[in-house]
Amino acid sequence: MNSIQFHIFIRIIFIVASSAAVATFDRNASHPYIVKKTWVENFVRFQYVFERKGAKAKIIPLGCVPTNRDDGFLLEVGERFIGTDFVFACEESEDGVISYDAVACVDMLGKEMMLGEMRKLANGTVVLHCNIYGGALKKVVERAAGCFFNETIYGEDEISRLTGRLMECFRPHHSYYESHVIGCAIGRIGVRFEEFVELDRGVFAQCEQDDTGNVRLRPVQLDDLSCTYKNQSHAHLSTWTDNERAARMTCSYGSPQKTGCSFNGLLFDIGQELPLSNGCIFLCHPQSNVYVCDQRLGNWTVNEHRGLQRTSGKEFSLFNL
């Protein structure tokens, strides 16, 4: 070997040795090391390195790989990846362990859903939940057992007072649940359509809905709250006795209401029972008064159209006294 060949050989050895000894640095750029192997396991990229000083070998976690493949792109610690169904975060614990876990859900529009959030689908008939089930974050779709509104499910016949509207949830013909506006909401007070409410002392209003579906309270006068009962007018909150029905009546916001019973000049509350001399019980009922008798009185038959009637003499109905 001549001198020229010897110098070329020595130069090649030096280049190879220099290439093998090129030092890289860990994530903190504090210690140089030589990379021996790189791989991805459980969505975390690791490096097996050999530190030049002291000849110490160790494994260093670098970050997260959403594809879980060796050639996948690297997600730095603290960064997040938004997938089709979930949002994943690359995080590092205090003891240096890196994890790649789902921290939020993604709805059908690609928007992030935090833990515990819900989304309504199919006009509120289906609800998408983002929550922890069995120790893992999952998306669960279920049919709503009620009406979904403002992140809340209201059961059948349940009434909500939101955005100034009184809403009720119902299920027509055992189909999907529907929510309908049934009146106005004033704080915790609900007023149905065509009903009246006293906003302040002597200040009254009526709930109504226009053709566009908007609801509002229309101011009314005290005379608008009067009642018409058997062709007679009664002022708001006035009381009178209907002797034919044995009923004590009160005018309340334009509607005559039975508030008690009048029997032989005595007043009785709704629901009160009065024993009679003939052995029957007189029950003061909110609609028609009821007479309850344990023994048969007179010769009675069942009339298909009029209820229980007497066969002869003056016509008499058990439930119309």
HEC string of 96-126 equals CCEEEEEEEEECCCCCEECCCCEEEECCCCE
Q: Please state the rounded mean pLDDT for residues 122-128.
A: 65
294 vs 225: CA distance, rounded Å: 43
Whether 190 is in a domain gets the answer no
Worst-scoring range by mean pLDDT, 141-155, 191-205, 224-238, 274-288?
141-155
Task: Enter the pTM of the model.
Answer: 0.41
Whether 59 is in a domain gets the answer yes
Q: How many structural domains compose the chain?
A: 1
Whether 71 is in a domain gets the answer yes
Whether 29 is in a domain gets the answer no
Whether 132 is in a domain gets the answer yes
The string of DSSP letters for 49-75 reads: EEETTTTEEEEEEEEE-TT-STTSPPB
> What local confidence, expressed as pLDDT, does residue 175 receive?
58
pLDDT bucket at 164, cuts 50 / 70 / 90: confident
Whether 1 is in a domain gets the answer no
Whether 93 is in a domain gets the answer yes
Nearest to 137 by CA among 116, 151, 153: 116
Worst-scoring range by mean pLDDT, 49-58, 114-123, 148-157, 257-266?
148-157
Domain span including residue 118: 38-143
pLDDT bucket at 199, cuts 50 / 70 / 90: confident
